[in-house]
Structure 1
Amino acid sequence: MTAPVLRTQLSDDERTLISRLNAKLSKTSPKDNLNEAYFEGEHRLKQIGIAVPPELQMFELVVNWNRMYLLEIARRQKIKSLMMPGGKKKQNRALQEGYEVNNLSAEVPLLNVDTMIFGRCFGTVGTNADDPDHPRIAFESPRQMSCLIDHGRRRMDAAFRQFLTEDGQRVGTLLLPDKTIQVVAGRRGWEIDQVGGDDDIDEHELGRVPVVLFLNRRRLARWNGSTEMADLIPLVDAAARALTNLQIAVETHSVPQKWVLGMSKGDFVDKNGQPIPVWQAYYTAIWANQAKPNEVKVGQFSPSDLKNFHDTTNHYAALASSVTGLPFRFFGQNTANPAAEGAIRADESRLISNAEDKNESQGVGIGWLMALYERFRTGQWPAGNRAIRVEWRNPATPTKAEEADFIQKLNGGVPVLSREGSWDEMGWDDPRKDRERQYFKEEDQDPLLERLTRPLNNGNGDDRAADSIG
Structure 2
Amino acid sequence: MAVSNEELGLVEVLRRQSDELSPKDDLNDKYYEGTQRLEHLGIAVPPELRRFETVLNWNRVTVDSVEQRLRLKEFVLPGDVSASKILREHWDANNLDSESGLLHKDTLIYGRGFVCVGSNADDAAHPLISVESPRELTVRVDPRTRRIEAALRLYGGTENDPEPNLATLYQPNSTVWLAKSAGKWDEYDRDNHNLGRVPIVMFINRRRAGKWDGVSEMRDVIPLVDAAARALTNMQVAAESIAIPKRWVVGMSKGDFVDGTGKPIPVWESYMGAIWANGNKDAKVGQFDGASLDNFWGTVNHLANDASSVTGLPTRYFGQTSVNPAAEGAIRADETRLIMNVEGKAAGLGDGWAWVQGIAERLRTGVWPAANQIKTEWFDAGTPTFSQKADALSKLYAAGNGVISREGVWDELQWSEARKARERDYFVNQSRLALTSLEKDVEEVV
TM-score of the superposed pair, with normalisation by structure 1: 0.83
Aligned to 2:218: 229
The equivalences for 1:99-248 within 5 A come to: 99-164=91-156, 170-193=165-188, 200-248=189-237
1:326 and 1:351 in contact (8 A); partners too: yes
Distance in 1 between residues matched to 2:197 and 2:240, nearest whole Å: 62
Deviation readout 1:45-74 (Å, 9 max, x if unpaired)? 122222212222111110001101111111
Taking only the aligned residue pairs, the percentage that are identical comes to 48
1:163 and 1:172 in contact (8 A); partners too: yes
Distance in 2 between residues matched to 1:9 and 1:101, nearest whole Å: 36
Aligned to 1:347: 334
Q: 1:129 to 1:279 in 2, by over 3 A?
A: closer
Q: CA deviation at 1:202?
A: 1.3
Distance in 2 between residues matched to 1:415 and 1:332, nearest whole Å: 44
Q: 1:436 to 1:406 in 2, by over 3 A?
A: closer
- Of stretches 409-418 and 105-114 in structure 1, the one that deviates more from structure 2 is 409-418
1:21 and 1:146 in contact (8 A); partners too: yes
Deviation readout 1:115-151 (Å, 9 max, x if unpaired)? 0100011111111122222111111111000011111
2:384 to 394, 398, 418: 398
Distance in 2 between residues matched to 1:11 and 1:267, nearest whole Å: 89
Q: CA deviation at 1:341?
A: 1.7
Unaligned runs of 5+ in 2: 259-263, 273-280
Aligned to 1:460: none
Question: Which letter maps to 1:302?
Answer: D
Distance in 2 between residues matched to 1:9 and 1:438, nearest whole Å: 60
- Other structure's SS at 1:382 match: coil
Distance in 1 between residues matched to 2:234 and 2:132, nearest whole Å: 40
Q: Is 1:54 matched up with 2:47?
A: yes
Q: 1:337 to 1:219 in 2, by over 3 A?
A: closer
Q: CA deviation at 1:335?
A: 3.7
Q: CA deviation at 1:163?
A: 1.3
Distance in 1 between residues matched to 2:93 and 2:152, nearest whole Å: 25
Instruction: Give the total of aligned pairs.
Output: 429
1:13 to 3, 6, 9: 6
Q: CA deviation at 1:261?
A: 3.6
2:316 and 2:324 in contact (8 A); partners too: no
Distance in 2 between residues matched to 1:16 and 1:281, nearest whole Å: 74
* Larger helix fraction of residues: 2
Q: CA deviation at 1:411?
A: 8.5
1:376 to 344, 354, 363: 363
Distance in 1 between residues matched to 2:325 and 2:302, nearest whole Å: 22
- Other structure's SS at 1:356 match: helix
2:168 and 2:178 in contact (8 A); partners too: yes
Question: Which letter maps to 2:187?
Answer: I
Unaligned runs of 5+ in 1: 1-7, 194-199, 270-274, 284-293, 456-462
Q: CA deviation at 1:107?
A: 0.9
- Other structure's SS at 2:321 match: coil
Aligned to 2:15: 22
1:326 and 1:348 in contact (8 A); partners too: yes
Q: 1:10 to 1:303 in 2, by over 3 A?
A: same
2:59 to 61, 66, 69: 66
Distance in 1 between residues matched to 2:157 and 2:302, nearest whole Å: 47
Q: CA deviation at 1:229?
A: 0.6
Question: Which letter maps to 2:336?
Answer: S
- Other structure's SS at 1:386 match: helix
Deviation readout 1:154-189 (Å, 9 max, x if unpaired)? 221100112127898732211001111111222242
2:315 and 2:323 in contact (8 A); partners too: no
Q: 1:106 to 1:234 in 2, by over 3 A?
A: same
Distance in 2 between residues matched to 1:55 and 1:354, nearest whole Å: 43
Q: CA deviation at 1:340?
A: 1.0
1:268 and 1:279 in contact (8 A); partners too: no
Q: 1:129 to 1:166 in 2, by over 3 A?
A: farther
Q: Is 1:433 matched up with 2:420?
A: yes
Q: CA deviation at 1:443?
A: 4.5
2:397 and 2:405 in contact (8 A); partners too: no
Q: Is 1:257 matched up with 2:261?
A: no
Q: 1:279 to 1:126 in 2, by over 3 A?
A: closer
Query: RMSD over aligned Cα, in angstroms?
Result: 3.0
The equivalences for 1:266-305 within 5 A come to: 278=267, 296-305=283-292
Aligned to 1:287: none
Distance in 2 between residues matched to 1:396 and 1:467, nearest whole Å: 54
Distance in 2 between residues matched to 1:178 and 1:343, nearest whole Å: 54
Distance in 1 between residues matched to 2:359 and 2:419, nearest whole Å: 28
1:370 and 1:387 in contact (8 A); partners too: no
Q: CA deviation at 1:75?
A: 1.0
Deviation readout 1:74-120 (Å, 9 max, x if unpaired)? 111101111112x2221111100010001111111111110010001
TM-score of the superposed pair, with normalisation by structure 2: 0.88
Q: 1:317 to 1:344 in 2, by over 3 A?
A: same
Distance in 2 between residues matched to 1:358 and 1:61, nearest whole Å: 32
Q: CA deviation at 1:205?
A: 1.1
Aligned to 2:278: none
- Of stretches 349-358 and 170-179 in structure 1, the one that deviates more from structure 2 is 170-179
Aligned to 1:38: 31
1:175 and 1:209 in contact (8 A); partners too: yes
Distance in 2 between residues matched to 1:408 and 1:432, nearest whole Å: 19
Question: Which letter maps to 1:23?
Answer: R
Distance in 2 between residues matched to 1:231 and 1:317, nearest whole Å: 13
Question: Which letter maps to 1:16?
Answer: G
